[in-house]
Amino acid sequence: MSKKAERITDSNMFYVFVSLYGKDEKPGYHIVPSEDVATYVSTSHKRWLDTPGRGGRMHKDTNIRTWDDPDQHYLDRWDLLGLD
Protein backbone atom coordinates (compact mmCIF):
# COMPACT_ATOMS: atom_id res chain seq x y z
CA MET A 1 0.00 0.00 0.00
CA SER A 2 1.07 3.60 -0.31
CA LYS A 3 1.14 6.54 2.07
CA LYS A 4 -2.12 7.70 0.50
CA ALA A 5 -3.97 4.91 2.38
CA GLU A 6 -3.45 6.87 5.62
CA ARG A 7 -5.78 9.61 4.35
CA ILE A 8 -8.58 7.56 2.80
CA THR A 9 -11.36 7.39 5.40
CA ASP A 10 -14.57 7.44 3.38
CA SER A 11 -17.31 5.56 5.25
CA ASN A 12 -18.49 4.05 1.96
CA MET A 13 -15.09 2.70 0.92
CA PHE A 14 -13.82 -0.74 1.82
CA TYR A 15 -10.71 -2.69 1.01
CA VAL A 16 -10.88 -6.37 0.13
CA PHE A 17 -7.57 -8.08 0.79
CA VAL A 18 -7.24 -11.58 -0.64
CA SER A 19 -5.11 -14.21 1.10
CA LEU A 20 -3.96 -16.96 -1.25
CA TYR A 21 -3.12 -20.00 0.85
CA GLY A 22 -2.36 -22.89 -1.47
CA LYS A 23 -3.29 -24.63 -4.66
CA ASP A 24 -6.14 -26.66 -3.18
CA GLU A 25 -7.36 -24.14 -0.59
CA LYS A 26 -9.98 -21.45 -0.99
CA PRO A 27 -8.67 -17.91 -0.68
CA GLY A 28 -9.54 -15.83 2.38
CA TYR A 29 -11.19 -12.45 1.93
CA HIS A 30 -10.59 -9.68 4.46
CA ILE A 31 -13.20 -6.94 4.13
CA VAL A 32 -11.96 -3.83 5.91
CA PRO A 33 -13.44 -0.32 6.22
CA SER A 34 -11.07 2.31 4.82
CA GLU A 35 -11.04 4.15 8.15
CA ASP A 36 -9.68 1.03 9.89
CA VAL A 37 -7.03 0.57 7.20
CA ALA A 38 -5.98 4.23 7.54
CA THR A 39 -5.61 3.90 11.31
CA TYR A 40 -3.70 0.62 11.08
CA VAL A 41 -1.24 1.67 8.38
CA SER A 42 -0.55 5.01 10.04
CA THR A 43 0.04 3.47 13.48
CA SER A 44 2.09 0.52 12.26
CA HIS A 45 4.26 2.70 10.04
CA LYS A 46 5.01 5.07 12.92
CA ARG A 47 5.90 2.10 15.12
CA TRP A 48 8.21 0.78 12.37
CA LEU A 49 9.91 4.18 12.05
CA ASP A 50 10.42 4.34 15.83
CA THR A 51 11.94 0.84 16.00
CA PRO A 52 15.64 0.49 15.17
CA GLY A 53 16.43 -1.75 12.23
CA ARG A 54 19.44 -3.83 11.35
CA GLY A 55 22.54 -2.76 13.23
CA GLY A 56 20.53 -0.47 15.49
CA ARG A 57 20.00 2.10 12.72
CA MET A 58 16.71 3.95 12.48
CA HIS A 59 14.50 3.16 9.49
CA LYS A 60 14.21 5.75 6.74
CA ASP A 61 10.72 6.91 5.87
CA THR A 62 9.24 5.49 2.65
CA ASN A 63 5.89 5.64 0.89
CA ILE A 64 5.32 1.92 1.48
CA ARG A 65 2.69 0.90 4.03
CA THR A 66 1.64 -2.56 5.16
CA TRP A 67 -1.58 -4.00 6.51
CA ASP A 68 -2.21 -7.18 8.48
CA ASP A 69 -5.11 -8.92 10.19
CA PRO A 70 -3.35 -11.18 12.72
CA ASP A 71 -6.54 -11.93 14.68
CA GLN A 72 -8.56 -12.56 11.48
CA HIS A 73 -11.06 -9.96 12.68
CA TYR A 74 -11.99 -8.98 9.10
CA LEU A 75 -11.91 -12.46 7.54
CA ASP A 76 -15.05 -13.02 5.45
CA ARG A 77 -16.78 -10.00 7.04
CA TRP A 78 -18.99 -9.36 4.02
CA ASP A 79 -21.65 -8.15 6.46
CA LEU A 80 -19.62 -4.95 6.95
CA LEU A 81 -20.62 -3.90 3.44
CA GLY A 82 -24.26 -3.63 4.51
CA LEU A 83 -25.58 -5.14 1.29
CA ASP A 84 -28.36 -7.20 2.86
pLDDT tens digits, 43-63 = 999 999 999 999 999 999 999
| 3-class SS of residue 58 | coil
Instruction: Report which residue type is found at 1.
Output: M
| 3-class SS of residue 35 | helix
Work out the average pLDDT over 75-83: 95
Work out the average pLDDT over 68-84: 94
| 3-class SS of residue 20 | coil
Work out the average pLDDT over 25-32: 95
| Interatomic CA distance for residues 27 and 84, integer angstroms | 23
pTM for this model (two decimals): 0.87
Which one has a higher pLDDT value, 77 or 84? 77
**Position 69 pLDDT exceeds 80:** yes
**Position 84 pLDDT exceeds 80:** no
